[in-house]
Structure 1
Amino acid sequence: MNDRILFTGGKPLGLLARLWLRLGRLLGRLLLWGGLLALAVWGGASAWYAWKFSGPVAAQEVIPPGEAAMTQSIIQTAIRIVDQHRDNTRYLRDAHAKAHGCVQAEVSVAAGLPAPLRQGVFSEPGKTWQAWMRLSNGNAYPQFDNLQDARGMALKLLEVPGTQLMPSQQARREQDFVMFNHPNFFVSDVAEYQQNFAAQAAGKKVLAFFPGWDPRTWQVRHLLIALQTLADAPASPVEASYYSVSPYKYGSANAKFRVVPEPSACPSYSLPAQNRDEPNFLRAALYQQLSADRVPACFALQVQLQDARRYMPLEDTSVLWKESDSAFQTVAHIRVPAQDFDTPAQNLACDNLSFSPWHGIDAHRPVGGINRLRRAVYDAVSEYRHARNAQAQ
């Protein structure tokens, strides 16, 4: 018998069985070579990014040409989104439209701060600032809390002395910190933001990261950052960590901010299980702790100083500042006392609050392209929204 005929159990296999086995071997080889190729690509990309994201960076801003024109285009897109997502009676924010609540908070500067960390609103150890805190979902349209989304925290310190950054805002006497729940952003700069924002406003989600057929224009790393940002909801808004993402001045240095839960600074508390199918279960969780159970929530406000000898750029918000290059240091403690926050009057006041990285003093001036963009966009959208809601700016 021909020795090329295959046997199983002493019997020759049929033609289809022989073809099936050969197809299986072929597919096995393809999978093996595909896996090896994927490993090689991953290794090459990792080595390339390690080389690209290394070495010293500028300690000062570098403004690219054409940024002002791109900013005006983004403002028009943001206003179009505000118009599209208007509810029956009110114009909403172009992002972080849904609040879980605005709560009163106390921000106490940490005792024993070393001199380099005594800057701006943190210059007096032991000083306690009264503040407003807004906790929110990131989407431009209010949606169920159990959907994957970014989560935000905006913090507004009150009665802050000194000249405000924006000449038109001198009556505010505020210092705002605007943060969300991921340490780096899914766009690098204003040019990329313009392209991505316009695509998403047109209903393109994943395709916003693939602006053309040329693979060199694909933003796969940024897509992965976006997918990591759109996370499952935490059990409660006070159990998440929040990041400034973009850098600020910290006296003469540059820095990023982070707010992390600090349960050891508050009475021990276990949140009862919430019904995550309820559309507003994050508000319910916040109400359960602060209003029903009357238990405060605590956070640490931390700063990460830039080391310009490391790859910690000011103009690329997609790059993670590694904690191994510069550790976060606690500069203040935040206490959210027990309170009744979920009232019609307070919810309306919450809706009318404006938060911006540019509401503040020069010691914490925002830096970098995304922050320059935010100055123009936040101000224009806030003015547009308040005017249409018949509220004074």
Structure 2
Amino acid sequence: MIKKLWLSFGRLLGKLLLVLLFIALAGWAIGAAYYAWKFSGPVSSEEQIPPEEPALTQSIIEDAIRVVEQHRDNTRVLRDAHAKAHGCVKAQVTVSADIDNALRHGVFSEPGKTWQAWVRLSNGNAYPQFDRARDARGMAIKLLDVPALKLTQSARHATEQDFVMFNHPTFFVRDVAEYKSNFAAQAEGKKILAFLPSWDPRSWEIRHLIIALKTLSPAPESPVLTTYNSIAPFKLGPLNIKYRVIPTPENCPRYELAEQNRDLPNFLRNSLYQQLSLDRMPACFALQVQRQNAAHYMPIEDPSVEWEESISDYQTVADIRLPGQDFDSREQNLFCDNLSFNPWHSLPEHRPIGGINRLRKAVYEAVSAYRLDRNSQGASD
């Protein structure tokens, strides 16, 4: 009797699992068909600015300042994102000798030109945490002694050209309006409500939740062994492009990093220190650009959509070299902490475009000014 009941229960459970599998496959097929339809070209090659964007931006600035105050390190105000640096190192950025003529704009206009630079490598979280925690990883590049008028009016950044990237090709919000609701929920510690704000399924952002979960990836063995993306688009002269940086160890002397102890809180800094400072071995990257093809779904205003590499491949415009060096000193770490990286520290030929970049301009400038002002007050007390 019991055996028959178990067999009947097993058959029922098997049928239920088949039904659930069918529903899941049907949902996946419907979703794939929907997004194939929704994400089809052509798209605009010009920016489209919603009228409510300035008011939303001001509200986001207030939330961002609230976040930096929440994550204050004793008396020091940290960045609202990418608070923990693995190192701030000197670099050389050399324009490719054979760069495509169509890409010779701004800092890439002179083939073979070498720019001196600072490169900051970081974790993405607004609060310093163990490196083994799942997180985004960032790379910020600051070219130095770049002549000509910049998009920012600050004399402090008059000779700088910045590139800001992190290690995922897409962002988990589509525009400033969604960023506002998402960031406000996260600032209040309600992370799940950032993507599921109500019981109404029409308000759910499942695709963006998946992007966010993918962004929170396990740490690489070293911050010089991962790819970094601009996510949002930029101008390159008349072109609309996105940037990425890829490791190119083949362009450096052969080097094999010793296995790292991932239980150490700062093992990514340790790996960088091991390679650059102890072993005096350089790290190499390529800076690349991907052009927008507006005949396909490669939008400017939605950074949650990856531009298909099969439609428009990446082209190398410069090589980046981090030479062997000492960098982990108190003075250099403090100098690095006071550096401000902003994609709007830029020549007009590299102007950031799209809603998230417009938001960055306002938020980065406001938070940087607030942070530097509060830290300088603390230093004088």
TM-score (norm 2): 0.98
Q: 58, 75, 98: which one pairs with 1:72?
A: 58
Shift of 1:262: 0.5
2:322 is equivalent to residue 336 of structure 1: yes
Shift of 1:17: 3.0
Letter paired with 2:19 = W
Q: 349, 355, 380: which one pairs with 1:363?
A: 349
Letter paired with 1:102 = C
Structure 1 runs of 4+ with >3 Å offset? none
Letter paired with 1:107 = V
Shift of 1:171: 5.0
2:160 is equivalent to residue 174 of structure 1: yes
* Partner deviation per Cα, 1:163-186 (whole Å, 9 max, x = no partner): 110123475211100000000001
Matches within 5 A, 1:120-135: 120-135=106-121
Structure 1, gaps ≥5 residues long: 1-13
TM-score (norm 1): 0.95
- 2:301 corresponds to: 315
Matches within 5 A, 1:208-223: 208-223=194-209
- 2:368 corresponds to: 382
| In 2, Cα distance between equivalents of 1:343 and 1:106 | 20
- 1:28 corresponds to: 14
* Partner deviation per Cα, 1:208-255 (whole Å, 9 max, x = no partner): 100111111111111111111100000000001100000000100100
Letter paired with 1:284 = N
Shift of 1:19: 2.5
- 2:87 corresponds to: 101
Q: Is the radius of gyration larger for structure 1 or structure 2?
A: 1
Secondary structure of 2:139 counterpart:
strand
* Partner deviation per Cα, 1:308-353 (whole Å, 9 max, x = no partner): 1111000001001010110000000000000000011100000000
- 2:170 corresponds to: 184
Report if the CA contact (8 A) 1:163-1:170 is conserved.
no
Shift of 1:55: 1.3
Report if the CA contact (8 A) 2:115-2:144 is conserved.
yes
Letter paired with 2:24 = A
- 2:339 corresponds to: 353
Secondary structure of 2:135 counterpart:
coil
| In 2, Cα distance between equivalents of 1:39 and 1:293 | 52
Report if the CA contact (8 A) 1:144-1:278 is conserved.
yes
* Partner deviation per Cα, 1:178-203 (whole Å, 9 max, x = no partner): 00000000110000000110111111
Secondary structure of 1:113 counterpart:
coil
Letter paired with 1:372 = R
Q: How many residues align?
A: 378
| In 1, Cα distance between equivalents of 2:95 and 2:258 | 31
CA RMSD, aligned part only? 1.1
Report if the CA contact (8 A) 1:164-1:170 is conserved.
no
| In 2, Cα distance between equivalents of 1:86 and 1:112 | 47
Secondary structure of 2:224 counterpart:
helix
2:259 is equivalent to residue 273 of structure 1: yes
| In 2, Cα distance between equivalents of 1:175 and 1:373 | 18
Shift of 1:88: 1.1
2:37 is equivalent to residue 58 of structure 1: no
| In 2, Cα distance between equivalents of 1:275 and 1:89 | 31
- 1:198 corresponds to: 184
Shift of 1:205: 1.8
Secondary structure of 2:83 counterpart:
coil
Letter paired with 1:331 = V
Structure 2, gaps ≥5 residues long: none
2:50 is equivalent to residue 90 of structure 1: no
Secondary structure of 1:347 counterpart:
helix
Q: 220, 224, 240: which one pairs with 2:226?
A: 240
| In 1, Cα distance between equivalents of 2:17 and 2:235 | 51
| In 2, Cα distance between equivalents of 1:377 and 1:229 | 21
- 1:5 corresponds to: none
- 2:135 corresponds to: 149
Shift of 1:207: 2.8
- 1:6 corresponds to: none
Letter paired with 2:195 = F
| In 2, Cα distance between equivalents of 1:290 and 1:55 | 45
Cα pair distance change 1:171/1:359, threshold 3 Å: closer
- 1:165 corresponds to: 151
| In 1, Cα distance between equivalents of 2:259 and 2:156 | 45
- Greater shift, 58-67 or 161-170, is seen at 161-170
